[in-house]
Amino acid sequence: MKKKTISFFLVMSVLLSGCQPFHFKMQNDEGPSAAAKDNDKTSSAAEDGIEMDDREDISVKDETRQASSESGLSLPSDNFNTVIEADGKRLIQNPDNIMALVNKEFTLPESYIPADLVRPSIPFSFGDQQEEKALLRNEAAMALEKLFREAGQAGIELFAVSGYRSYNRQHAIFEAEVEQKGQAKAVEAVANPGQSEHQTGLAIDISSRSNQLLLTQQFEMTLEGKWLKENAHKYGFILRYPKGKESVTGYKYEPWHFRYVGVEAAAVIFDGDLTLEEYFNIVEKI
């Protein structure tokens, strides 16, 4: 399906020119006033004895602010992460935020459990078993029910594989991956506890009979995987770890992992071929 033509072609050409792994230059815990202060430093960088790398860093921030201005996108401040530094981590203090950005830089509190977890009325790969992974936050669950219902009407049969995952469960999965593949390989595919979107109750892994109900990259080649990639945003879900954006997200391509952000944000992210990190790079806090 041909994506809509929007101004993101200009925005992304600016943004990606300075993109580096895990240095998103996001405004998640900085207000526009902090960015404005950096702007004053740029013109006198050489006179003040700032190193070349520092001047380049300031330039990247300027480009990000320019991209934000050109995009015309804005979000209320409560849609951005509020964080504190603790034990070397940036802990999210407003984890109930539907737009919470959870990744290798922003960590959920160990004690966080969403209060509105429900089981959506959709087919699961494990049937009717009562598992925590069958749960999602209420808003995401209702949206997923609609997605599955309309997929079925289009002849697409989907199965949910894994939704909510507690901190403790994520810890067990991560340790098992480290034991099997080693630390370096584990962190490419499995999130550290507290850094998994599944703990938000807003992420869902999806598969199909045509992919043996497995979570593999072959899912992208199935009719179901292709339909999801092109239609999930209509229901508020984004393909969270897309191909070609591994240096931005920090994870391997996962054609099965979808994250609920709401219809409006999902449409912008889909149309602009963005990751959630890139979206927050160009959206203005208001």
Could you list the active site residues? Answer: 254
Tell me how far CA of residue 153 lies from CA of 146, 148, 149, 158, in angstroms.
11, 9, 6, 11
Query: Cα separation of 3 and 6, whole Å?
Result: 9
CA 9 to chain centroid, in Å, comes to 21
